[in-house]
A and B are shown apart, each in its own frame.
Chain A
């Protein structure tokens, strides 16, 4: 095995100003092991004193070849890998992959499964935003918010554990529906959470909103405008903080999001402060969706009945020869959707999470591409970081809410 080399300054000189080569400015490494880079993001920054002249993100430290691996697994087995991409929105990764497979194979998801999917996806968004708020505040120096956010996030992870036995990588959503129905205590656990969270969000806001230090560190920092966002394909809260109310749950509804009444929060500043306000408001809106979905959650099956794609229930295998054959065939060979390619996208806490899935008529996907929201965010980072202080760079990276597993796949 050969030693892995890094880019040399010579290879990167087109990214820096000529002053970097003469030693007039300092080229400094921030990361990949740095507490404020949220994983293994490496930023090569050119500094003039304390001001960032240029910033070159170097990514790929968490590249695990998921796209290649998925091509060599059957459709059901490949789904387990999708959890590991965006490890803060695992349910959403499952959801977008399953939506793509369902579109390809024309599976019909029962209304109860759709309702539970919506509840879980929104709870997942809240826990992602909670961890984001905690770590972002800690980056800037507000230590106590982190502890409170983790406390509430724990309640959501307990709900995930209740339904699937896993706290993060649940793989609970399956092509054609869900793994199984939720337990009886699910509704009570979610209701408890709905009751608790609004008061807690008010607590975070009490800690931060009128905090002079928080305002000084976030207002007017890292400004980006709508036009730049669209050109660099930046979506999600960063785009909404520039004043454009674009949300895939409203624009291209999936899993029955069109039935629920919720607002798309926007701000016009485009700075770190606006992103903070948008995300906190999004937590409230997600809670509204969860409450409505729970109120009108119908009873019924949680899986499609197409036996060629959906594994039979355990109780059927003992009594039905057909079910036994289907079970055996599905877990040894897998199912074979028709030839063609589809693209599906959902709204992740960071923006558009998409899957491009191509089938060649065999049991394994021919090509899977994950369009992840973090990659455009990091790509746009140098534009935003130019001219900022190093300390503000930490705030900007934090407000972008980057997840390196999502970026590198």
Chain B
């Protein structure tokens, strides 16, 4: 592990019983979901992680817990990245918004809500970002179809027509 990351990681380990995972020189800390803003504030104020370049999620459907929120922090002083993950269970999960700590999380969280359907408690502007406002469903979930349409031939037209999704997704 990079020496510059050690104090921050040790502090998180001690304070939140965070699990640490190292893969190809990248350090990931797993923290409890309800502590996300607290841990981010700690990283920002005490360890000079002044930027939050990435807020995204990963869907592990059908495993449990289903979602991982992924936050990647960057320190312009030490020039290092630190990844923080929080697992969320259930089909309609929610987590506290990071907006109060890093304002830049605003749109990124709107994007995650739009594409994954994770609700952010206390978010100031909970609208969809990329999809149209009246869209149904969250496209980046693993159980959301890619959008292929089954080809209908004359011999199986009716058969496929029966199971074809109609109207709204």
- Contacting residues of chain B (79-136) with chain A, CB-CB under 8 angstroms: 79, 81, 83, 102-104, 106-108, 111, 115, 124-125, 127-134
Are B83 and A343 touching (Cβ within 8 A)?
yes
Instruction: Provide the residues of chain B in CB contact with A369, threshold 8 Å.
Output: 54, 56, 70
Are A59 and B130 touching (Cβ within 8 A)?
yes
Are A345 and B132 touching (Cβ within 8 A)?
no
Q: Is A295 an interface residue (CB 8 A)?
A: no
Q: Is A79 an interface residue (CB 8 A)?
A: no
Q: How many of chain A's residues have a CB under 8 angstroms from any CB in B?
A: 47
**Nearest opposing residue in chain A for B124, CB measure:** A14
Are A14 and B134 touching (Cβ within 8 A)?
no
Given the known interface contacts A5-B134, A72-B146, the answer about A59 and B129 at a Cβ–Cβ threshold of 8 Å is: yes
**Nearest opposing residue in chain B for A355, CB measure:** B54
A selection of 28 A-B contacts at a CB cut-off of 8 Å is: A2-B168, A5-B133, A6-B133, A11-B127, A11-B133, A63-B130, A63-B131, A68-B140, A68-B146, A104-B24, A231-B50, A231-B102, A233-B52, A235-B51, A244-B76, A252-B79, A340-B23, A343-B26, A343-B83, A345-B53, A352-B53, A356-B56, A358-B58, A369-B56, A375-B108, A375-B111, A376-B104, A379-B104
Q: Tell me the smallest distance from the CB of B117 to a CB of chain A, in Å.
A: 14
Are B53 and A354 touching (Cβ within 8 A)?
yes
B residues engaging A (CB < 8 A)?
Answer: 23-24, 26, 28, 50-54, 56, 58-59, 70, 72, 76, 79, 81, 83, 102-104, 106-108, 111, 115, 124-125, 127-134, 139-140, 144, 146, 167-168
A residues engaging B (CB < 8 A)?
Answer: 2, 4-7, 11, 14-15, 59-60, 63, 65, 67-69, 72, 103-104, 106, 230-233, 235, 244, 246, 251-252, 340-343, 345, 352, 354, 356, 358, 366-367, 369, 371, 375-376, 378-379, 408-409
Of A60, A252, A352, A409, the contact of B132 (CB 8 Å cutoff): A60
Q: Once bound together, how far apart are the Cα atoms of A356 and B70, in whole Å?
A: 10
**Nearest opposing residue in chain B for A103, CB measure:** B24
Closest 3 CB pairs of A and B: A233-B104, A60-B130, A340-B23
Q: Once bound together, how far apart are the Cα atoms of A341 and B111, in whole Å?
A: 20
**Nearest opposing residue in chain A for B114, CB measure:** A60
**Nearest opposing residue in chain B for A15, CB measure:** B125
**Nearest opposing residue in chain A for B101, CB measure:** A231
Name the residue in B59, B70, B106, B132 with the highest tally of chain A Cβ atoms < 10 Å from its Cβ.
Answer: B132
Instruction: Provide the residues of chain A in CB contact with B70, threshold 8 Å.
Output: 341, 356, 369
Of B51, B115, B127, B133, the contact of A233 (CB 8 Å cutoff): B51
Are B103 and A232 touching (Cβ within 8 A)?
yes
Q: Tell me the smallest distance from the CB of B20 to a CB of chain A, in Å.
A: 14
Q: Once bound together, how far apart are the Cα atoms of A356 and B26, in whole Å?
A: 12
Q: Once bound together, how far apart are the Cα atoms of A366 and B81, in whole Å?
A: 21
